[in-house]
């Protein structure tokens, strides 16, 4: 990652309990690295999540550098059939117990 001179932080309302945090690492006012931490909600609606996903896609140009999933998402909505998450440039999955 290039040296950064600013970090933009967005916290999305997923319509329920659940985190959705987007960090944009900036260099000379250009995004050099994007990281999403979770994007779900417990007992939320597809409509609420779709709005988040749409904005994330627009903001990141349809690609993320890193997606951090902090816990098992089997109880959460994560993305929707009508609004898919941005493409991941690289993927590394490590399950911890």
Residue 55 is predicted with a pLDDT of 92
Structural domain span for residue 45? 6-88
Exposure string (b/e) for 8-46, b if CB count within 10 Å is 16 or more? eeeebebbeebebebbbbeeeeeeebbbbebbbbeebee
Which tens digit of pLDDT belongs to each residue from 6-23? Answer: 999 999 888 877 778 999
Residue 83 lies in a domain: yes
Q: How many domains does the chain have?
A: 1
According to DSSP, residue 92 is labeled -
Q: What is the mean pLDDT of residues 22-26?
A: 96
Contact 85, 39 (CB under 8 A): yes
Residue 93 lies in a domain: no
From 16-20, 28-32, 34-38, 56-60, the region with the lowest mean pLDDT: 16-20
Residue 57 lies in a domain: yes
Residue 1 lies in a domain: no
Which tens digit of pLDDT belongs to each residue from 68-86? Answer: 877 655 544 455 444 456 6
DSSP 12-29: ---SSB---EEEEEEETT
């Amino acid at each position: 990652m290039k040296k950064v001179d600013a970090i933009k932080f967005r916290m999305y309302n997923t319509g329920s309990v659940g985190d959705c945090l987007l960090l944009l690492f900036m260099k000379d006012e250009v995004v050099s690295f994007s990281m999403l931490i979770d994007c779900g909600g417990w007992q939320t609606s597809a409509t609420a999540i779709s709005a988040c996903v749409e904005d994330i896609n627009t903001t990141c140009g349809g690609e993320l550098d890193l997606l951090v999933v902090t816990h098992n998402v089997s109880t959460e909505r994560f993305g929707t059939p009508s609004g898919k998450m941005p493409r991941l440039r690289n993927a590394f999955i490590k399950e911890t117990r």
